[in-house]
Structure 1
Amino acid sequence: MQMSPIIAVHLTAAVSALVLGPVVLWARRGRTQHPRLHRALGYAWVTLMVMTAVSALFIRDFKLPNIGGYTPVHLLVPVVFFGLTRAFWKLAKGDIRSHRISMQATYISACIVAGAFTLLPSRYLGQMLWRQWLGLV
């Protein structure tokens, strides 16, 4: 597999969401809160997550265990949509605590866990990291 435009979009959106997530979460925590920053960056983060999830549907890998080219990591696509929908639903109901928990869970599962899977030596980004950049494996 090589870098295609859809992989470039997916990779850019995913890495951006990974970096932006903690900033969004920080903007509503601590002694000084920044609600306008939190809201603006939050919408940007949600947009990046939707871009990541939708683009993932167009990336298939027939080398790993799969069903029609979809590997187990693709199960995180509905997790992202469920988490974002639940977070906005809770926000609309005024349940800020559940909104925060849902967004944190979405960040951890979709950015941290999925990111860890992409660094496996058999995955595209893992091959770039371990073989090309570090000269290992």
Structure 2
Amino acid sequence: MMHPLFDAAAPIPLHALAAMAATLLGAVQLLLPKGGFLHIVMGRLWVAGMAVVAVSSFFILEIRLLGPFSPIHGLSLFTLVVLAYAVHAARRGRIAAHRKAMIRLYCLSLLLAGAFTLLPGRIMHQVVFGV
């Protein structure tokens, strides 16, 4: 069932697999206790995964609404900025700002944007629904 994804042009498989991993890791991260070693290690992995998702999106140019780009590229830029802000906030001890930014980023950049990948005609729709 994953063949439509693996048959897609690069970097789509990398982008999708990183997004799936970040979605799962983020969900676990939200459920685990905060502030300890495991939270920090998993958080770093999540940030790295999100950076891969965002950066790889700039090389996916199938939907061209603004020159070679689409609105999703704006979301990717937003994601990179918020990742940097949230990491900086955590390092400065501004935990409430860190938490708020990370939760919003997870919901907006992974869950909401991910839902759009399930629309008919998209690769992830084929993977999930077999159509």
Q: What's the TM-score, normalizing by structure 2?
A: 0.85
| Aligned residue type for 1:84 | L
| Aligned residue type for 2:25 | L
| Aligned residue type for 1:47 | A
Paired position in structure 1 for 2:19: 14
**After the TM superposition, which segments of 4 or more aligned residues of structure 1 sit over 4 Å from their partners?**
none
Q: C-alpha displacement at 1:127, in angstroms? A: 4.1
Matches within 5 A, 1:23-62: 23-28=28-33, 35-62=36-63
Q: Taking every aligned residue pair, what percent have the same amino acid on both sides? A: 33
Kindly tell me the number of residue pairs found equivalent between the two proteins.
126
How much is the aligned-residue C-alpha RMSD, in angstroms? 1.9
Matched, 1:3 2:2: no
| Aligned residue type for 1:21 | G
| Aligned residue type for 2:78 | V
Q: Deviations over 1:25-82 (max 9, x none)?
A: 22235xxxx71111111100000000000100000114xx612232222221012112
- The unaligned stretches of length 5 or more in structure 1 are none
SS at match of 2:12: helix
Q: Deviations over 1:96-132 (max 9, x none)?
A: 11100010011011100110111111323224444xx
SS at match of 2:11: helix
RCO (CA 8 Å, sep 6+): is it higher in 1 or 2?
Answer: 2
- The unaligned stretches of length 5 or more in structure 2 are none
Q: What's the TM-score, normalizing by structure 1?
A: 0.82
SS at match of 1:87: helix
Q: How many angstroms apart in 2 are the aligned matches of 1:81 and 1:93?
A: 18
